[in-house]
Structure 1
Amino acid sequence: MAGWVLCMTLLLAALAGVLGQLQYSRFLRQHVDYSQMSAQLGLRYCNTMMARRQMTNPVCKYTNTFVHAPAADLVAACSQVPNSNGMYSTTYAMSITVCRLRGGNTQPPCNYRGRQARHYVRVACQRGLPVHLDSTSTTP
């Protein structure tokens, strides 16, 4: 009986680890773009990135924020002291692009407007990895 309990505990731990990795991978896909793409695409950046990152099918995602910093810098936020809501903030303001859907139609083709800024980024973390972009702010 003890062997069965140990086996189930190990299985559940492994599944939790896999789920955490999947959530982190999804976070990276949806929010991290540390490339020169934003400079190359200019006004078309949001339309291109939202489609490329699979956020326009079957419906257009209304808003999304891309962080233009290394993923490691967002992982580092998870080692900071969380705020009262359990969110972790980056230690410096990062370059971001906020993409918002133009018009009210959420059916493709999607048309986005982008706004660039420098903000601190707040994330939810699990097992030391960011899994949800909570908000951005001009103050830490």
Structure 2
Amino acid sequence: MASWVLCMILLLAALPEALGETRYGKFQRQHVDNPRTSVRPALRYCDTMMMRRQMAGPTVPCKFRNTFVHTPAGDLVAACYRTPNNDGTYSTSYAMSITVCTRNGGAAWPCNYRIRQARHYVRVNCEYGRPVHLNSTATTP
């Protein structure tokens, strides 16, 4: 009996990975980098992170633009519990450190990205109390 219970527990624990990445998991992979990953030279941050996070590479078309937020994921989750904006998005309560990566050139490998750093409020779309899409960033909430 104990081995059957243990087997069920292990099966249930492995289920999320077996079913693939959740929308929240994809959001974290594509947008959360806290603390900010150190890359040398610093200008290669976007090229490196886009490849590491599987948004660019030899077998993956180069994503046009992506924003990395350098704050704990919990601070982005907290935005989902604030009053929604008129457009249904949710804004963070403070301006966060972000890095915006924008593709230079075509979508074919090797990818080449421009880097821009800023402090912005982050607007997200939420499902079940978790961010699932980074909608935009802005200097005001």
Q: What's the TM-score bracket when you normalise by the shorter of the two chains?
A: 0.7 to 0.9
Stretches of structure 2 that go unaligned for 5 or more consecutive residues are 1-18
> What is the identity, as a one-letter code, of the residue corresponding to 1:123?
V
Once the two structures are superposed, the pairs formed by residues 1-140 of structure 1 within 5 Å of their partners are 22-38=22-38, 41-56=41-56, 57-103=59-105, 105-140=106-141
- What is the deviation of 1:40? 5.4
Aligned CA RMSD, in angstroms, stands at 1.6
- More helix per residue: 1
Instruction: Indicate conservation of the 8 Å contact 2:39/2:48, yes or no.
Output: no
Residues in 2 aligned to 1:43 and 1:124: alpha-carbon distance in whole angstroms: 30
What TM-score comes out, normalization by structure 1 length?
0.81
Aligned-pair identity in percent equals 62
- What is the deviation of 1:36? 3.8
Secondary structure of the structure 2 residue equivalent to 1:59: coil
Instruction: Indicate conservation of the 8 Å contact 2:54/2:60, yes or no.
Output: no
Structure 1 runs (4+) greater than 2 angstroms displaced? 38-41
**What is the total number of aligned residue pairs between the two structures?**
120
Stretches of structure 1 that go unaligned for 5 or more consecutive residues are 1-18
